[in-house]
Amino acid sequence: MVNAKLEGYGFFAGNRIGSNMDVKVMQQLINSVKENEGYRSMVYKDSLGIDTIGYGFAIKDLELDEDICEEILKRKLDKLINRVNEKWGWIVNLPQEAQEVIYEMCYQMGVSGVSKFKKTLACFENHEYKMAAIEMLDSKWAKSDSPQRAKRMSDIIKEL
């Protein structure tokens, strides 16, 4: 029987994996590597000083397929949305487009970075979208860091 959790990652063809190794043998190998490497959710230096993450994945050698990156993005956004909603409870009362713009700003600049947009946030909280759009563009973010992105985000808010 194929391990359904691993099957989703495209390793398997029947009871064999890409390397022609039996599924049961591969699971034993996975368990052994996990036990010996340990798991770390944050980047760390291994015994050779190489940036590493997860189960001993050397970052310099790490290649991520787009589907894996999308899954990581979904998880990061889920955590971010919860954090933003906890910090600014009024956001859930904004139109969906405004919420998405704030979430994306927080994704790019971090919650602490967006916290510095005091006038913009006050405008959002008061449902003053035209002013929020103007205030968004009165920033280093819009003037030098990400001008096209800031303009696109501001245009969405201006239309509310």
Is 54:38 a contact under the CB 8 Å cutoff? no
- CATH of region 66-158: 1.10.530.40
Q: Where are the domains of the chain?
A: 4-61, 66-158
pLDDT of residue 18: 59
Spell out where the chain has E strands. Answer: 12-13, 16-17, 40-45, 51-54, 57-58
pLDDT of residue 115: 98
The pLDDT tens digits for 33-81 are 999 999 999 999 999 999 999 999 999 999 999 999 999 999 999 999 9
pLDDT of residue 23: 86
Q: How confident is the model at residue 17 (pLDDT cuts 50, 70, 90)?
A: low
Is 100:153 a contact under the CB 8 Å cutoff? no
